[in-house]
Amino acid sequence: MKIAKSCTHEGVAYEYLSDDSRELDSATLFVRTKRNAPFAPNHPTIDAHELPGLFAPLPKIIGITGTNGKTTTSAIIYSLLLDLSRSCALIGTRGVFANDKRLKPKGLTTPSVLELYEIFDMVRECEFVVMEVSSHAIEQERIAGITFVARILTNITSDHLDYHKTQEEYIRVKNSFFLDSALNSGAKIINADEKRALYNPQDVITYAIESNANCKVDAYSLDRGITAHVSLRLPESSLDTDSLVAGGARRDSHARVDSVSFARHSAIERAVVHAQLYGKHNLYNILAAITCVRIISGAELESIAQALERFGGVEGRMEVVSEEPLVLVDFAHTHDGMEAIFESFIGRDIVVVFGAGGDRDRSKRPKMGACAYKYAKRLYITSDNPRSEDPQGIIDDILQGIPDFNTPESKPIHIDTNRRASIRHAVQNLAPNEILLILGKGDETCQIIGDHIEHFDDREEVREALRQR
Tens-digit pLDDT profile for the chain (469 aa)? 999 999 999 999 999 999 999 999 999 999 999 989 988 899 999 999 999 999 999 999 999 999 999 999 999 999 999 999 999 999 998 899 999 899 998 777 788 899 999 999 999 999 999 999 999 899 999 998 899 999 999 999 865 556 656 888 989 999 999 986 544 568 999 999 999 999 888 889 999 999 999 999 999 999 888 999 999 999 875 233 443 433 333 333 333 333 333 434 468 999 999 999 989 999 999 999 999 999 999 999 999 999 999 998 999 999 999 999 999 999 999 999 999 899 989 889 999 999 999 999 899 999 999 999 999 999 999 999 999 999 999 999 999 999 888 888 899 999 999 999 999 999 999 999 999 999 999 999 999 999 999 999 999 999 999 999 8
* Number of C-beta neighbours around residue 373 at 10 A: 21
> Got the DSSP string for 65-118?
E-SS-HHHHHHHHHHHHHHTT--EEEEETTEEEETTEEEE----SS--HHHHHH
Contacts of 39-45 with CB under 8 Å at 24 or more apart are: 44/9, 44/10, 44/12, 44/14
Q: Please check whether the two domains, 56-308 and 319-468, share a CATH topology.
A: no
List, in sequence order, every residue forming a beta bridge with 330; answer none if it has no partner. 439
Rg (CA), the chain: 23
DSSP assignment letter at 293: H
Exposure string for 57-76, b = 16+ CB within 10 A, e = fewer: ebbbbbbbbbbbbbbbbbbb
- 246 phi-psi bin (left φ>0, alpha ψ -120 to 50, beta other): beta
Element (H, E) at 395: helix 391-399
pLDDT at res. 260: 38
319-468 has which CATH code?
3.90.190.20
DSSP assignment letter at 317: B
- pTM beyond 0.85: the answer is no
CATH class of segment(s) 56-308 = alpha beta
Helix (H, G, I), strand (E, B) or coil at 330: strand
Q: How many whole angstroms separate alpha carbon 156 and alpha carbon 214? A: 20
pLDDT at res. 406: 82
User: What is the identity of the amino acid at 287?
Assistant: L
pLDDT at res. 165: 67
Domain parsing of the chain, residue ranges: 2-52, 56-308, 319-468
